[in-house]
């Protein structure tokens, strides 16, 4: 089987796992288990928290000790088994600790799958989007599969399962664990002089422009969680009125747009307009989406605005992964990807998850939420991010690929 096919299957399953639970778990926790907005925010913050820890584990192990594909296989097999069990849990405290353990297993694979793909592609700037788009397809398939499962379960109660979103994610994880052994062999770099790969990755921040990039990426990532944590409850609220059994299917609009942007627009924009202009377009899509959410009418426009997620995610975060790979030394590429994941999916998303939960609780009275006020908060913050990035990030200062470290 060709390398690109195997890498595409890797991305498909990596994001099918996440896509099976992330978009709709909040609705399950709030509506079925009766958790509070703060509790939901804390549970969503566990993956970012695990991502803060994972650079010191996953990236270091893959850069220095074991082949990356074997690390991914073991983590996914363990994580899949744990998810299947968590799907039967309804107690908040028990779920909190088990989800944290699961997230510690899953978080390193986000960076490792990126680096496996980037290392095994001949031209990452042109080809990475074509591989990464399969992750988006996996996310869509997971959402549609979950919606289909729930629709069928309405007529056949025997297959209905309250924790179906977590069970499906566990099944995908177990499958990925098995196929990961067939991924291209990606051994640790033998020429490394410094045994602490992550410390070498941190040294990239000595470059002023790289530091600015990481700071803005951090701020933007905090606002991403308003979309991930609150969109499903928002769409299923009386204000919008989407049925909970179909909300996962509706939300794949964002991922369908992501496919179009990643497969067709990114290969056009990035070579022609560069890192800075492409990322600015991505940032500007964020406040537009949150403004539409804040207005909340007409319903068709709110649903259509989900398509802006394609520009938000691809033009900012996908380009960010390519940028980091461009400037990282060969012997720290796993750790460099872990560093951007630490900032974006770790610290930024951890703070953003708790912040989103706090804002939802702040503007809620009983079971009624003032969604206009909720989404005006990320609208204002993303506008500020666009302005700051436009002023301080300079395309001409994007550094050339770093040499292999020797100290």
Give, in degrees to the nearest 5, the angle at Cα 315 between 311 and 320.
Answer: 145
The number of beta carbons lying within 10 Å of the beta carbon of residue 182 is: 12
Q: Could you read off the pLDDT of 166-219 as tens digits, one per residue?
A: 999 999 999 999 999 999 988 776 554 455 556 777 788 888 888 888 988 998
Q: What b/e sequence results for 284-300 when a residue is b if at least 16 CB atoms lie within 10 Å of its CB, and e otherwise?
A: bbbbbbbbbbbebeeee
Tens of pLDDT, residue by residue over 8-17, are 999 999 999 9
The 10s digit of each residue's pLDDT in 148-176 is 888 887 766 556 567 889 999 999 999 99
Rounded alpha-carbon distances, angstroms, from residue 233 to 16, 175, 224, 238, 243:
21, 30, 15, 10, 11
- CA–CA separation, 380 and 330 (whole Å): 39
Tell me the pTM.
0.73
Token pair recorded at residue 285: 């899509």
Least confident range of 47-51, 86-90, 258-262: 47-51
Name which of 23-27, 104-108, 233-237, 335-339 the model is least confident about. 335-339
**CB count, 10 Å around CB of 355?**
20
Q: If you write DSSP's letter for every residue of 342-356 in order, what string do you get? A: IIIIIIIHHHHHHHH
Asked whether 374 and 246 are in contact (CB, 8 A), the reply is: no
User: What is the number of other CB atoms lying within 10 angstroms of the CB of residue 373?
Assistant: 14
Q: Is the pLDDT assigned to residue 224 strictly greater than 90?
A: no
> Rounded CA gap, 226 and 266, in Å?
24
- 116 C-beta neighbours (distance < 10 Å), count: 30
What distance, in Å, lies between the first and last C-alpha atoms of the chain? 39
The mean pLDDT of 292-303, rounded to a whole number, is 95
Are 15 and 138 spatial neighbours (Cβ–Cβ below 8 Å)? Answer: yes
Spatial CB neighbours of 385, under 8 Å, sequence gap ≥ 6: 216, 219, 220, 223, 283, 286
**For the chain, percent of residues with pLDDT exceeding 70:** 88
What does the pLDDT read at residue 45?
A: 81
The confidence band for 95, taking pLDDT boundaries of 50, 70 and 90, is very high
Is residue 47 predicted with pLDDT exceeding 70?
yes
Q: Is the pLDDT of residue 144 over 80?
A: yes
Please enumerate in sequence order all residues whose Cβ is within 8 A of that of 397, keeping only pairs 6 or more positions apart, or say none: 207, 208, 209
Angle at 266 (CA atoms; ends 265, 271), nearest 5 degrees: 115
- Residue 192 vs residue 126, higher pLDDT: 126
Long-range contacts of 122-127 (CB under 8 A, 24+ apart): 124/322, 124/325, 124/326, 125/270, 125/271, 125/322, 125/326, 126/267, 126/271, 127/4
Q: In terms of Cα–Cα distance, which of 229, 270, 277, 223 is closest to 124?
A: 270
Strand 364-365 relative to strand 368-369, pairing: antiparallel
The residue-averaged pLDDT of 17-38 equals 86
240 pLDDT exceeds 90? Answer: yes
HEC sequence for 20-82: HHCCCHHHHHHHHCCCCHHHHHHHHCHHHHHHHHHHHCHHHHHHHCCCHHHHHHHHHHHHHHH
Instruction: Please tell me the predicted confidence (pLDDT) of residue 52.
Output: 82
| Residue 279 CB partners (closer than 8 Å, separation 6+) | 315, 316, 319, 320, 389, 393
Please give the average per-residue pLDDT across 32-48, as a whole number: 85
| pLDDT band with cut points at 50, 70 and 90 for residue 333 | confident
The better pLDDT of the pair 46, 394 is held by: 46
DSSP letters spanning 185-231: P-PPPTT---S-HHHHHHGGGGSHHHHHHHHHHHHHHHHHHHHHHHH
At residue 298, the pLDDT reads 93
Question: Which structural domains are found in the chain, ordered by start?
Answer: 3-397 (1.20.1250.20)
Mean pLDDT of 16-20: 93
For residue 356, is pLDDT > 60? yes
Once rounded to an integer, what is the mean pLDDT over residues 50-73? 72
If one compares 258 and 154, the residue with the highest pLDDT of the two is: 258
Q: How far apart are CA 143 and CA 168, in angstroms?
A: 10
Token digits for 315? Answer: 């033009």
């Amino acid at each position: 089987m060709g390398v690109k096919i195997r890498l595409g299957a890797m991305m498909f399953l990596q994001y099918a796992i996440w896509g099976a639970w992330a978009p709709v778990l909040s609705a399950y926790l709030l509506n079925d288990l009766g958790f509070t907005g703060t509790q939901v925010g804390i549970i969503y913050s566990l993956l970012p928290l695990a991502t803060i820890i994972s650079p010191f584990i996953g990236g270091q192990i893959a850069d220095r000790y074991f082949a990356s594909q074997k690390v991914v296989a073991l983590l996914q097999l363990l994580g899949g088994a744990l998810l299947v069990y968590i799907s039967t849990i309804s107690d908040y405290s028990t779920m909190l600790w088990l989800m944290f353990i699961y997230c510690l297993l899953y978080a390193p694979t986000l960076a490792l799958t990126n680096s496996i793909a980037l290392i095994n592609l001949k031209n990452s700037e042109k080809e990475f989007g074509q591989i990464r788009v399969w992750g988006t397809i996996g996310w869509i398939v997971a959402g549609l599969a979950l919606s289909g499962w729930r629709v069928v379960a309405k007529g056949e109660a025997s297959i209905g399962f309250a924790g179906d979103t977590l069970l499906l994610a566990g099944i995908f994880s177990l499958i990925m664990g098995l196929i990961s052994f067939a991924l291209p062999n990606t051994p640790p770099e033998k020429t490394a002089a410094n045994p602490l790969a992550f410390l070498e990755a941190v040294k990239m921040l000595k470059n002023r422009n790289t530091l600015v990039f990481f700071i803005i990426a951090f701020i933007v990532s905090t606002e991403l969680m308003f979309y991930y944590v609150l969109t499903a409850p928002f769409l299923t609220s009386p204000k919008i009125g989407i049925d909970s059994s179909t909300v996962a299917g509706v939300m794949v609009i964002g991922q369908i747009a992501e496919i179009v942007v990643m497969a067709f627009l990114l290969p056009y924009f990035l070579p022609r307009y560069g890192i800075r202009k492409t990322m600015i377009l991505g940032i500007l899509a964020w406040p537009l989406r949150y403004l539409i959410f804040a207005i909340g009418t007409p319903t068709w426009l709110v649903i259509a605005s989900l398509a802006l997620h394609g520009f938000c995610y691809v033009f900012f975060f996908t380009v960010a992964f390519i940028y980091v790979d461009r400037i990282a030394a060969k012997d720290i590429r796993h750790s460099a990807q872990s560093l951007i994941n630490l900032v974006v999916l770790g610290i930024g998303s951890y703070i953003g998850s708790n912040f989103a939960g706090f804002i939802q609780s702040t503007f809620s009275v009983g079971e009624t939420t003032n969604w206009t006020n909720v989404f005006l908060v990320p609208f204002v913050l993303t506008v500020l991010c666009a302005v700051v990035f436009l002023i301080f990030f300079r395309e001409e200062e994007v550094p050339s690929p770093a040499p292999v470290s020797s100290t």
